[in-house]
Every structure is written in structure tokens, then in C-alpha cells.
Chains A and B, each alone.
Chain A
Amino acid sequence: METFDPTELPELLKLYYRRLFPYSQYYRWLNYGGVIKNYFQHREFSFTLKDDIYIRYQSFNNQSDLEKEMQKMNPYKIDIGAVYSHRPNQHNTVKLGAFQAQEKELVFDIDMTDYDDVRRCCSSADICPKCWTLMTMAIRIIDRALKEDFGFKHRLWVYSGRRGVHCWVCDESVRKLSSAVRSGIVEYLSLVKGGQDVKKKVHLSEKIHPFIRKSINIIKKYFEEYALVNQDILENKESWDKILALVPETIHDELQQSFQKSHNSLQRWEHLKKVASRYQNNIKNDKYGPWLEWEIMLQYCFPRLDINVSKGINHLLKSPFSVHPKTGRISVPIDLQKVDQFDPFTVPTISFICRELDAISTNEEEKEENEAESDVKHRTRDYKKTSLAPYVKVFEHFLENLDKSRKGELLKKSGKTLCLSLLSS
């Protein structure tokens, strides 16, 4: 699986876009049931071609048009933008100021490099099983809030292909949200504040908002294994000094002593919890609480979002099922039911699935007697024969939910007659 050679991309992409890319499901998503006229036709796509040639304001008439163009251009990267007031590929013909971004999914981008100050195993573009748990926690925390606090129903989580995850929130009302509300949502979801120059990045007040409490409960499930074993954040003086920097100096000596006497991070953490909860801040007037303990857990584990990705309605984000040009991995949907088991290192690369396809096709050709079987039929079955299949299934499940919601909305609006005709379709 690991043998991916970027120089093979042009050939691989050719095969991928001809035989494997799930066009019909993709179109089904972005067309949103065809309820709004020209919704798909007004959508902006951007392509990055070979040699870093970047073209914006691509738009297509229908699924077949999309297929033809993608096969013709062979993009290295595909980004999805907003739905505009006019066809993006005609934006130059529009009266100045009239070409406006109107709707887009609410998106989130969580990138492992934003955690470099708190992970000891890797840095920058590298990831490993030890730090991937950060993404698992991030997905659980953010998804819970999007679902339970904001009431968002259609959330698609996608592996970015290298070192992070994306989330696409596709509810009808959400696509219409203003930039101000999108920013507000990111603010609500943010707890870790400050750049390199700030040591303590999380400060909790006396009143703990339910969002924070519930997020901490999620982190608690992973903390021991992730932070105390795998990351070993209290392993030695160098690492535990970083954590002491987050607690008041008055308890440093006591902690240093008990840390010296302990043998591993688990023991040291127990000491820290006891001392921290005993700690009284005179200003707070006899308020007890594990705030210090929680502030540390949050700084080491809580999700870090890039507000710029989420707030702009016209922001372009990497498309699901796009290929990552450096790793070759496909940006695949993540099954929320199995998020703990998701392993980015088992996500298929384009070379892997192309090889799978070749192998199967050769076998089939040998067995196949009827050569007149149409190309289209081949193509629609092809991805199913590769490791891409289960991921397309996750995508289809997501699409079914969207369909169900849409039908539900129509029912509510129209009444009996429509209900009967839909049920029979």
C-alpha cells in the first residue's frame, strides 16, 4: 500500500477519473434533489492541474458535463466552493457587483500541525497512530456539539488525505447561514486560545458551560491512554515542566517532589489531580473544583479550528474523493459509527486501488464472454471491486439521510397528495 510514486499521478488520475470516481453519488450530493433550480450549475469548483496550474470558477451543467471535464483536465486537486448567483464559468459576463456567493455548506478543517505544541511524537506534516487520537477526539467533540447543541443533522466527516479531517455540514438552513453566524459557531467551539508566545491557552471560569462539561467528559475517555501512556506527557522533567507552567507557582514545589518520587505519568497525574483540586484561589473565595486539571486536559486534547476556513461563504475546500497529491491517499468519508477504529494508514491510495482495478479487470476479461457489455455499466460497478467501496457506502448512507430529510420537508409543506406520489416513487 505504501508504494505511492507522485510521478505516476497523471496516469493514475486518468484511470481514477475514468473508472473509479463515484460521479453519480457525487452529483446526487451537490444537486441536493434538484429542489432549487440551478443549484448545481451555480456551484464553483476549482482545479489544480499538473505543474501547479490553478483554475477557479469552474462550473458544470450536469453530471455528464462534470465527468467529461474532469476526465479531460485530469486535475491533481479538486476544491468545492460556494453556490453563486450566476454560473461561475460565466462570471465575467455579469454586471459588476452582481456576481455573489450565496450559499455553501458549513465546513471545518482540523489540521494536526495546529497541535505541534502539545504532541511529542510528531511534528508538522507527520502523523502517527499515537497522535491520531487527537483527530478522533476532535471529531467526537465537534460532532456532538454540531448535532446536539446546534441541531445540525447532515454532517459529513472526511479524511483530508494527509494530516487532518474536514467536516461538511449540509443541512438546508445551514447552507444559507451568514458569515457572522458561521464565525459565531467557530467561536462557540473554541477553547484553546493563543499562539506560540502564550503558555497557558485555556482559562475556565467558575461557571462551566454544558458544552465544556460535555467535551471534558469525552476527553476523559481517551486521556489516560492517549496522554499518559502514548504521549507520556509527564515522562520526565522536561515534559512535566511544560505542564507545571500551566498551574500556579505556589504548588510547583509540592508537585516537583511528588513527581520525582513517582514512576510514570499515570502516578504523576494522580498526584497532580489531588493537589490541584485542593488548591484554593483566594480571589475565588473557597471555590473548589478541578478547573486546573480540566484546563490541562483541554490544552492537550481539545480541538483547534481554523476560523478562516469556516467563516467565509466563498471559501474553497478540498473535495471528498479528491486525491492528495503528496500521499496519494483518497479523501474518504469517515464512518461516525466507527470513528475510534478509523486508521488513516489503511486509507487506500490511488495507486493501490488502480492496481486492484487492473487485477480484477484482467481476471474479468478472461472470464467475460460477452464483450458487448457497456462501458458505463463497467464503470458504475468498478469502484465496488476496490478498497474504495466501503467508503462510498458511508457516503451513500449520508446521501440517503439527506434524501429522507428532503422528502420529510416536502411532506410537511405540501400535504397529502404529494405524500402519496412520493411514496409510490
Chain B
Amino acid sequence: MEFSGRKWRKLRLAGDQRNASYPHCLQFYLQPPSENISLIEFENLAIDRVKLLKSVENLGVSYVKGTEQYQSKLESELRKLKFSYRENLEDEYEPRRRDHISHFILRLAYCQSEELRRWFIQQEMDLLRFRFSILPKDKIQDFLKDSQLQFEAISDEEKTLREQEIVASSPSLSGLKLGFESIYKIPFADALDLFRGRKVYLEDGFAYVPLKDIVAIILNEFRAKLSKALALSTKSFPPCMRQLHKALRENHHLRHGGRMQYGLFLKGIGLTLEQALQFWKQEFIKGKMDPDKFDKGYSYNIRHSFGKEGKRTDYTPFSCLKIILSNPPSQGDYHGCPFRHSDPELLKQKLQSYKISPGGISQILDLVKGTHYQVACQKYFEMIHNVDDCGFSLNHPNQFFCESQRILNGGKDIKKEPIQPETPQPKPSVQKTKDASSALASLNSSLEMDMEGLEDYFSEDS
């Protein structure tokens, strides 16, 4: 079974670096993007993909999936929004790149609740299914190989030897002969849903799977991986943001301090204005707030923190110090630092609900007693991610997020600065990589900006 690495290196040597990064018009989004893009492109990509996924949803409702009408309409949507869809077109690098990056941006936006996750996964699966369905036969094998899936089409001789058995086993095959049907040989454990119901032929530990069933397997794999990735994303939210998130979901309302803190955090992890607005709107509408009132009142504030109103200043998200020292929460507030501002008993309960072990909880509470709030948060980080040493000195919620994403994405050096998304980390190790300390340096410099802009903000009437 060939893995992608060797093939990619060969292609690169052949000189075609751009095509090497995206060899196919479709992908499983296994690796997060690691390039530098502007905030504007970031926002636009996210908005475009949301538009695309909404089309996928609408078309799936208006037409039967897989019919010609469905396919041609979806294809034109993809073309319009400049995302990839077909092989053998010229200049495929840009659309594929857009596809890749926008998918990962939306992961962040849609990881936050079960409902959002389910919707996102459903549309992404339908999109992948469509792209797979229009893939020409000869390209399928290449794509499967490059996607680290152990799927090999068997030779005609091997087919003939087992023709009767394969036909007798697979409900998706009608008739008595295999004809030109492609049959794939995969380890039996990879075809769980097929073999458990005896819907596939097994021989010597391998399942002999017709193409139609392979697609189902691939989509299931995709769904499982994506589901896991989204669930892990919530691990990346520090406690101060988790409690705001929870409060928001439960009460559909955050008071001013909370809105400010959370809004800026989301901005820091790259949630676009559109997404933020959508999100806030959704939450408030659930709490039965008037959408007009929302547009006039709250959305103004959000736009403000994105720098689109008023002074048009780009506010940077709060640092730990800022959150700990200023604007302490009172009754009914959910902002602030839970290690600093929560009653120790309530903090203990909260940590228990996050499934931290009793040993870990007592360590954290000890640190809190000694007023080492940020170290307590580091300890929380270590427990949640199952590491002995978090490897950094915490002073910013967005830093918590970045470090977490780093661990969860398998150690790839993805750094985010509060203002810009994605710091440079090119795929081939040609350039030097930025390390944690430089990311920290940029965060530290933003601290000063922090203090200035926000003092002004608080002096305004809101």
C-alpha cells in the first residue's frame, strides 16, 4: 500500500510544487492549512464556504441527490464560488486551496454545539459524496491511494476466481456476472458495516468490496474523523471561555463584560464577523429576543469589537492579566477568570463536570489558594490534554487555544496571533519555523495595545 509521502516528494522534485500540495480536486482534509492569509481573505473564504454548504443543503432538499439536476446545479454553485469540483481543469490550485482553508475555518465556527456540528458534517458529507460521484474511474484509484486508505482494486484474474462468491455476497450487485465492476480488496476490519451484516465476501481476512460500497465506507470514515476533530475542538477553549459559552447556550444572553470578552476571543481564533453575528443572533433569538433589537443593539457592539463601527479600531482579545484584574463579574455575570472569580466550591463542581480527576482538581484548587490563577489554568490545560507539562507559560486565552490546537492537530506548528490568523509554517521545510516564544512575543506586544483601546471602550457609554 502506497502512502502519500513518497509520491509527493517525487512530484515536488519534478518541479510542480503547487500541484503537489493538492493533487486532487477533492480531499479528506486530513491536515490543517499552514499558510499565511490576510484577515480579509480569511473572512471571505469562510463566508463563501458557508454559502456553499447552505446551497448543498438547499439543493439536497429541492432535488433528489445524485440526479442530473442536482449535480449540475451543485456544480454551478461550486464554479460560482470558485471551489474545486472536477479533475482535469486548468488552474486547479487556487480553487483547491480555497476549499482546503475554508473547510478548516468553518470547523472552528461549527464545533461549538452538537447541532452546529451535525449540520456541518451533514453538508460536508453530501459535498464529498457529490465530488466522488463525478470522479472518473481512472482517477478513483489514485485518489484512494493518496488518501492513506488501504484500498486496492483487484485484477481481472482475481475477480474471475471469486466471481460467484462476490456476486452472491454483495446486495449492491445485481445479476450473475461482475462485468466491468471494480472490486476493491480491503482489510476486513475496515469494512465493519458491510461484513457484520454479511453484505460482502470475506476471504483470508480481506473484504472484496464493489465500488458502490467503497464509497459508503469512505464517507463513514470521513464522518467519523470529522466528528472526532470537531469534538476535540471544544477541548481547545480555556475555562474562561467555556463558561461564557455555556452561559450563553443556557441563558441566551450575556451581559456586557461577557459579550466583550467572548466576542474578542472568537475574533482572535478567527471567527469571522459573519459567523460571529450569525452565532450571536442565533443565541439571542433562542432567548426570544427581538431580532430588530438585536440588530440595533448587540450587533452594534459586535461590529464595534471587529472594528467595523465607531472608531473602527481592531480590538485585540483580552489577556489573562486583563481578565483577572479588571471588571470583576458580579451576580449574573459569567465573564472573568473562573480561577480568580469563582467560589472555590463552584469551581470544584465545574472542574468535576469537565471530568478532571480528583487529584488534578485538588492541585488546581491549591494553586488558586496561592493566587496562582494562570498556573492553575495551565494545570487544567495539562489535565484536559493528558500531558505532564503544557510547555508554555500561560498569559492569554487565545494562546491556550493555539497551544491546544497544536497538540490536537498532531504537533503541527500552527500559531495564531490575536489579530492575524495562521502564522507562516510552509509545508516543505524550506523556511524556518516560528516557535512558541516568538508567538508569545507577538502576544506580549499586543498587550499594550490591549490596555489602551479597551480603556477607551470602557469610558464610552454602552
Chain B positions within 8 Å of A284 at CB level: none
- Cα A182 to Cα B195 in complex, Å, equals 11
**What chain B residues lie within 8 Å of A184 (beta carbons)?**
192, 195-196
A293 to chain B, nearest CB (A): 18
A146 to chain B, nearest CB (A): 10
Q: Is the CB of B201 within 8 A of A97?
A: no
- What's the minimum C-beta distance from A289 to chain B, rounded to whole angstroms? 12
Cross-chain contact B203 with A181 (CB below 8 angstroms): no
Given A95-B359, A96-B357, A210-B169: A150 and B192 interface contact (C-beta under 8 Å):
no
Q: Find chain A residues with CB under 8 A from B201 CB.
A: 209-210
Q: Scan B166-205; emit 1 where CB is below 8 A from any A CB, else 0.
A: 0011010000000000000000110010011110011111
- Assess A207 versus B171: contact at CB under 8 Å? Given A96-B358, A97-B357, A150-B188: yes
Chain A 148-190 residues near chain B, CB threshold 8 A? 148-152, 177, 180-181, 183-185, 187-188
Q: Confirm or deny: B206 has a beta carbon within 8 angstroms of a beta carbon on chain A.
A: yes
Closest Cβ neighbor of B193 among chain A residues: A184
Q: Residues of B within 8 Å of A, CB-based: how many?
A: 21
Q: Are B189 and A177 in contact (CB under 8 A)?
A: yes
Whether the pair B203, A149 counts as a contact (CB closer than 8 A) is yes
Known: A95-B357, A151-B204, A181-B189. A187 touches B196 (CB 8 A): yes
- Write out the residue numbers on chain B whose beta carbons fall within 8 Å of the beta carbon of A97: 355, 357
Q: Give the Cβ gap from A71 to chain B, nearest Cβ, in Å.
A: 38
- Interchain nearest-CB distance for B379 vs A (Å): 14
Q: Is B152 an interface residue (CB 8 A)?
A: no
Contacts of B189 in A (CB 8 A): 177, 181
Chain B CB within 8 A of A208 CB: yes
A210/B165 contact (C-beta < 8 A), A96-B358, A183-B196, A184-B195 known: yes
**B359 cross-chain contacts in A, Cβ below 8 A:** 95-96
User: How far is B192's CA from A150's CA once the two chains are assembled, in angstroms?
Assistant: 12
- Flag whether A211 is at the interface (Cβ < 8 A): yes
Across the interface, B192 reaches (CB within 8 A) one of A181, A210, A211, A212, namely A181
A153 to chain B, nearest CB (A): 9
* Shortest distance from the beta carbon of A94 to any chain B beta carbon, whole Å: 10
- Across-interface contacts of B168 in A (CB, < 8 A): 207-210, 213
The smallest C-beta distance from B280 to any residue of chain A, in angstroms, reads: 36
Interface string of A178-206 (1 = CB under 8 A from B): 00110111011000000000000000000
List which A81-125 residues lie within 8 A (CB) of chain B: 95-97
Complex contacts, A151 vs chain B, CB 8 Å: 188, 203-206
Per DSSP, are chain A's interface residues mostly helix, strand or loop, or mixed?
A: helix
Complex interface: chain B residues within 8 A of A210 (CB)? 165, 168-169, 201
Least distance between A155 CB and chain B CB atoms (Å): 13
Residues of A contacting B165 in the complex (Cβ-Cβ under 8 angstroms): 210
Q: In the complex, what distance in Å separates the CA atom of A149 from the CA atom of B195?
A: 10
How far, in Å, is A413 (CB) from chain B's closest CB? Answer: 16
The smallest beta-carbon distance between A17 and chain B, in angstroms, is: 39
State whether B198 touches A209 (Cβ < 8 A).
Answer: yes
Interface string of B324-343 (1 = CB under 8 A from A): 00000000000000000000
Residues of A within 8 A of B198 (CB): 188, 209, 211-212
Shortest C-beta distance, A239 to chain B (Å), equals 31
Q: For residue A43, give the distance in angstroms from its CB to the closest CB of chain B.
A: 24
Q: Which chain A residues numbered 297 to 311 have a C-beta less than 8 Å away from chain B? A: none
Q: Interface readout for B410-429 with A: 1 if CB under 8 Å, 0 if not?
A: 00000000000000000000
Hey, what's the 0/1 contact readout for A200-230 against B, CB within 8 Å counting as 1? Answer: 0000000111111100000000000000000
Nearest chain A CB to B190 CB, angstrom units: 10
Closest chain B CB from A397 CB (angstroms): 22
Q: Complex: how many Å from CA A102 to CA B301?
A: 51
- Residues of B near A180 (CB, < 8 A) are 192
| A149 proximity list for chain B (CB < 8 A) | 188, 202-204
A184 to B197, CA, bound (A): 8
- Please, how many angstroms separate the alpha-carbon atoms of A215 and B201 in the complex? 15
Would B171 and A188 count as touching, CB distance under 8 A? no
CA distance A96 to B169 in the complex (A): 46
Cβ of B55 to closest chain A Cβ, rounded Å = 35
**In the complex, chain B residues whose CB is within 8 Å of the CB of A187:** 196-197
Q: Identify 6 residue pairs between A and B in the complex whose beta-carbon atoms are under 8 Å apart, listed by A's number.
A: A95-B357, A97-B357, A149-B204, A150-B188, A152-B205, A209-B168
Given contacts A151-B203, A208-B168, 18 further A-B contacts (CB under 8 A): A95-B359, A148-B203, A148-B204, A149-B203, A149-B204, A150-B202, A151-B188, A151-B204, A151-B206, A152-B205, A180-B192, A181-B192, A184-B192, A207-B168, A207-B171, A210-B165, A210-B201, A211-B198
B residues apposed to A, CB below 8 Å: 165, 168-169, 171, 188-189, 192, 195-198, 201-206, 355, 357-359
